[in-house]
């Protein structure tokens, strides 16, 4: 990984962590509002949280892309595919 790739990865990580922070803040505000309005015993996770579900799915996809399907994984798959298609030289 060269400097430019590392710098790009750091920017992507920073954006991802900011998104996680904002998700946590918004989730806290929504759920604390529901708890104060309805009480702890009448609290439901599914009331008005469809936005949070969609946002959580998007963050999960970003996390998979950022941490699992990163450039090292891509490089390994490319090398594996190149080894598969390498044809022997016939003299």
- Domain boundaries along the sequence of the chain: 3-85
Contacts of 83-87 with CB under 8 Å at 24 or more apart are: none
Averaged pLDDT for residues 57-63: 93
pLDDT digits (tens, 9 = 90+) for 8-49: 888 999 999 999 999 999 988 887 877 777 766 665 656 667
Dihedral Cα 32, 35, 40, 44, nearest 10 deg: -100
Distance of CA 15 to the CA centre of its chain: 10
């Amino acid at each position: 990984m060269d400097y430019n790739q590392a710098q790009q990865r750091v920017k992507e990580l920073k954006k991802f962590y900011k998104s996680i922070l904002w998700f946590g803040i918004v989730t806290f505000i929504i759920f604390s509002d529901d708890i104060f309005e309805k009480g702890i015993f009448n609290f439901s996770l599914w009331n008005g949280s469809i936005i949070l579900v969609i946002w959580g799915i998007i963050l999960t996809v970003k996390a998979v892309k950022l941490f699992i399907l990163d450039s090292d994984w891509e490089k390994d798959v490319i090398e594996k595919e190149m080894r598969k298609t390498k044809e022997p030289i016939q003299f």
